[in-house]
Amino acid sequence: TAIALYGYDQGMMSLVNTNYDYLDTMGISGESPLVGVIVSVYYLGCAVGAVLASYLGDAKGRKPSIFVCLAVTTLGNLLMFIAGLGFSRGALALMFIGRIVMGLGVGGIDAVIPVYSSELNEEGGRGKALAQEFQANIFGLNMAFAINLGVTNALGKTNQWAWRIPIVVMQIYPVLLMSFIYRLPESPRWWIFHDCENDARVSLVEIYGDDEATEKLDELKEAAKEESAVSIGYSDMILPGGQQFHETMVTVMGQVNQALTGYGAVSVYGAQIFELLGFDVSTAEYLTQGNYISYFFLMTFAWILIDRVGRRFLMVTGAFGIAVCFIILTVMGGLAMNCNKLGIPNMAVSVPGSIALFVATGLFGIGWLAQAWLIPTEIFPSTSRAQGSAISVIVWGLANFTVTLVTPILFNNLNYWIFLVFAVTNLFAGWWTWAYSPETGGRSFEDNQQFFTESKESNTWRVSRVKGGEYRHMPREKEGNG
């Protein structure tokens, strides 16, 4: 439910941006760079919110941090809803403030939820659990776009409620989660690292049952004993030579590479891409909804595969597959813009181009949506896991701020050549992941941390050269274990 907030915002803004009353209320034109700035400034709020929430999550607990972030999200959303409602002066400023405040809340949620989820699940199920949560993210995306499309068709693009209703409906998610979050267990790892053994036992019993709780408690106490001797600060993580700089760079590049796949642009400007392929505005909007629905169902393969074949395999094959799709889109986009000159029927290029976009979207969901958030929660020790996740959200926020800000400018200037840019960036993302990102699936937190110890001893970051390339794939069953 919490992660669905992120998806809802993407689907919400994609059609809000094209509402004539919205543009008039904000005092901007559809071609104004401010359209992209309003969308992208939210990500700056996310970056700040991630840092604040990570501190709160470590100091007061994962659940209190999530609750506060949900409340902040609610406030930001309400500010967006009332921007220009009965007044015009200051509407744009209030919309900016609302976007930033909502970003603070959603960024905090995106920092704490993956950590909380990983700490509640075993190594064999962490990937599936987070992938299922991100399928809820796509549900939020679908819900927002469907509501947007419905009210736009019913009320028209000149009606203010056609953009205000989709914004305020988002309140369902934070209010619903705030109403029952008290029933969820606190992270037993957090309890242990705050010397609350009895509370940790209660959480473990709630999660695993009485039979496994004692064994899990002993494991957590042992891990806490080993990790508590080491104090980790942000300087140890972000400065070259710091004891966790390598882990941080894997985290940073995971989010940078996810942004380089180009899907942030596809999710926000999907309808414009279908228009570029030759469809009229109405058809493009319905195709965008169809793409999101396909995206939701294809995401099922992510949580089926992520703990079976691993994070690395899905990321690498996903990036190269998306690159091929974007090359096809470059060709089809070029043909679509020159159909009349070449005497080619529009549908002969728009249909295969659309199929390529549907496939690229599915590949992103399977290969990249959850993985970039999951890996940081698996490679840092408990003493710095929240900070690592916060860094992940900061980089995600800054990267997506850049992508969503630059994308409309690139569309206006490059047209279909933008797809070739994304093809190249996907090739880079696939190569970097293959070379430097270790496979974290099927391993305990401590096993994953061992990779970085071995890497330091081997004096290399290349996965193939650390411990005989053992971390290129999921751990294999040892002989004699059946």
Q: What is the pLDDT of residues 158-177, one digit of tens each?
A: 999 999 999 999 998 889 88
Mean pLDDT for the stretch of residues 176-201: 89
- Helical packing angle, 417-436 and 245-260, nearest 10°: 150
Contacts of 191 (CB under 8 A, 6+ apart): 197, 199, 200, 203
Share of the chain above pLDDT 90, in %: 47
Residue type present at position 438: P
Assess contact for 291 and 270: CB atoms under 8 A: yes
- Per-residue pLDDT at 437 exceeds 80: yes
pLDDT-based confidence at 21, cuts 50/70/90? very high
pLDDT of residue 228: 65
- Of the ranges 89-93, 224-228, 444-448, the best mean pLDDT one: 89-93
Contacts of 103 (CB under 8 A, 6+ apart): 41, 42, 43, 44, 45, 46, 47, 48, 49, 76, 397
Contacts of 197 (CB under 8 A, 6+ apart): 191, 217, 221
Looking at per-residue confidence, does 164 or 119 come out higher? 164
Distances (CA, A) of 219 to 134, 168, 226, 318, 481: 29, 45, 11, 35, 22
Assess contact for 438 and 465: CB atoms under 8 A: no
Assess contact for 78 and 429: CB atoms under 8 A: no
pLDDT-based confidence at 37, cuts 50/70/90? confident
pLDDT of residue 219: 82
Mean pLDDT for the stretch of residues 109-126: 79
Assess contact for 276 and 419: CB atoms under 8 A: no
> Phi and psi at residue 226, in whole multiples of 5°?
-70, -40
Tokens of 435: 């070379």
Contacts of 386 (CB under 8 A, 6+ apart): 54, 55, 57, 58, 111, 112, 115
| 393 closest CA partner among 102, 110, 133 | 110
| 133 closest CA partner among 118, 144, 149 | 118
pLDDT tens per residue, range 296-355: 999 999 989 999 999 999 999 999 999 999 999 999 999 998 888 888 888 999 999 999
Residues 200, 67: Cα–Cα separation, whole Å = 20
What does the radius of gyration of the chain's CA atoms come to, in whole angstroms? 23
Residues 401, 316: Cα–Cα separation, whole Å = 24
pLDDT of residue 40: 83
Mean pLDDT for the stretch of residues 183-195: 88
What sign results for the dihedral spanned by CA atoms 276, 282, 288, 294? negative
Mean pLDDT for the stretch of residues 33-58: 88
Q: Structure pTM? A: 0.84
pLDDT-based confidence at 124, cuts 50/70/90? low
Mean pLDDT of the chain, nearest integer: 88
Residues 244, 251: Cα–Cα separation, whole Å = 11
- Helix extents (H) in 121-209: 126-155, 161-169, 172-180, 188-192, 197-208
Residue type present at position 70: L
Return the residue matching tokens 């359209």.
Answer: 35
Share of the chain above pLDDT 70, in %: 96
pLDDT-based confidence at 229, cuts 50/70/90? low
- Per-residue pLDDT at 482 exceeds 80: no
- Per-residue pLDDT at 122 exceeds 80: no
Contacts of 254 (CB under 8 A, 6+ apart): 371, 372, 375, 376, 392, 433, 437
Q: Is 104 helix (H, G, I), strand (E, B) or coil?
A: helix
Task: Give me the half-sphere count of Cα atoms (radius 13 Å) on the Cβ side of residue 379.
Answer: 30
pLDDT of residue 481: 39
pLDDT tens per residue, range 83-113: 999 888 899 999 999 999 999 999 898 888 8
- Helix extents (H) in 2-90: 4-16, 20-26, 33-60, 62-82
Tokens of 374: 């999951």
Phi-psi region of 209 (alpha: psi -120 to 50; beta: other; left: phi over 0): left
Assess contact for 121 and 129: CB atoms under 8 A: yes
Mean pLDDT for the stretch of residues 234-261: 91
- Per-residue pLDDT at 291 exceeds 80: yes
Write down the number of H helices and E strands in the chain. Answer: 24, 0
pLDDT of residue 23: 94
pLDDT of residue 479: 37
Tokens of 27: 């005092």
Looking at per-residue confidence, does 72 or 212 come out higher? 72
pLDDT-based confidence at 227, cuts 50/70/90? low
Residues 335, 325: Cα–Cα separation, whole Å = 15
What single-letter DSSP state applies at residue 437? P
